Amino acid sequence: MQIKLQSDDYHVLLNTLGAELNSYSSPTGKEYIWNSDPAYWLRSSPLLFPTIGNVRNGETVIKDHIYPMPKHGFCKESEFEVTEQTENSVTFLLKANEETQKHYPYDFELRLSYHLNGSTLSMDYTVTNKDTEPMYYHLGAHPGFMCPVNDGENLENCILKFEKEEDFVSYEYDLKNLEFNFDHKVSQKAEGNVLPLTIPMFDQDAVFFEHTNSHRVSFVNAVTGKGVSMYYPDFESLAIWTPIGGKASFLCLEPWNGSAIFHQDDDVFAHKHSILTLEPGKEKTYHLEISLIE
């Protein structure tokens, strides 16, 4: 079921399946979110929980038992409950259930609240541990933004502009073994706080910056400065992705707490790189904002 939000003639469409952002349009009708064309990528903005990326051979060890774990977790295939709704805000809730227990044997609650205020869409992700022991998890966002946003441009007309200077050193993804490796790093051709975008930089899949000095990044046309901005104060890492070959007209900006598996990781879920821990009865909220720059 789709949920509509509006504020100052800005419009957002959300889906109870996955609590996923499907559309974000300006008063002029310009669409900023990827259209989910299955020829390239069926999603538009999946919620990544309780894992980011893949686990080795699709299985992981939790509480001394082996569980199958889908890539990026199970939220994208989960129906969320709507617990609160107004004209410009909505809260989605997913509770542990028989299906989630097949993959993740924790008693949890996951809320995702959206609030639209004109050209800014705010999101709050709240994880609650209802279990009797510490809970381990990753959490991330994966919104895909249309590129070109504006007529006559392409990916290589655009840049990522960070609020602070970055070293732009990323981990190379091993497409054969589906893993990162601490020993394999790539220095992107950039300096200062600006990263030019090129098609070849995605030849090894996503570009993953494990730590960023910045917590705000803008995906904009290098000349006009128009596009989108993302503020991710509660996320440690940032990945960027478009399918190899550059034929798909979108770019994903992905704030992560966690990552896909590293070569050096074992198969125990609690040992995954950058794993988060939440004690019984506790909850943690993570904030994210997307703003349109017109």
C-alpha separations of 200 from 154, 189, 269 in Å:
14, 11, 33
Per-residue pLDDT of the chain (294 residues; tens, 9 = 90+): 999 999 999 999 999 999 999 999 999 999 999 999 999 999 999 999 999 999 999 999 999 999 999 999 999 999 999 999 999 999 999 999 999 999 999 999 999 999 999 999 999 999 999 999 999 999 999 999 998 666 777 889 999 999 999 999 999 899 989 999 999 999 999 989 999 999 999 999 999 999 999 999 999 999 999 999 999 999 999 999 999 998 899 999 999 999 999 999 999 999 999 999 999 999 999 999 999 998
Judged on CB neighbours under 10 Å (0-12, 13-18, 19+), 66 is: exposed
Look at phi and psi of residue 269 and say left if phi exceeds 0, alpha if psi is from -120 to 50, else beta.
alpha
Phi, psi of 269, rounded to the nearest 5 degrees: -60, -40
At residue 191, the pLDDT reads 86
Q: Give pTM, 2 decimals.
A: 0.96
Please state, in angstroms and rounded to a whole number, the distance separating the CA atoms of residues 207 and 169.
9
Q: Tell whether the torsion through CA atoms of 87, 93, 99 and 103 is positive or negative.
A: positive
At residue 60, the pLDDT reads 98
As its CATH architecture, domain 2-34+48-293 has Distorted Sandwich (2.70)
| Domain ranges, ordered by start, for the chain | 2-34+48-293
Q: How do 89-95 and 194-196 pair as beta strands?
A: unpaired
Contact 139, 126 (CB under 8 A): no
C-alpha separations of 255 from 51, 52, 151, 230, 252 in Å:
13, 11, 27, 9, 10
At residue 240, the pLDDT reads 97
At residue 149, the pLDDT reads 67
Judged on CB neighbours under 10 Å (0-12, 13-18, 19+), 288 is: buried
Contact 46, 72 (CB under 8 A): yes
At residue 147, the pLDDT reads 84
Please state, in angstroms and rounded to a whole number, the distance separating the CA atoms of residues 75 and 17.
8
156 token code pair:
């290589």
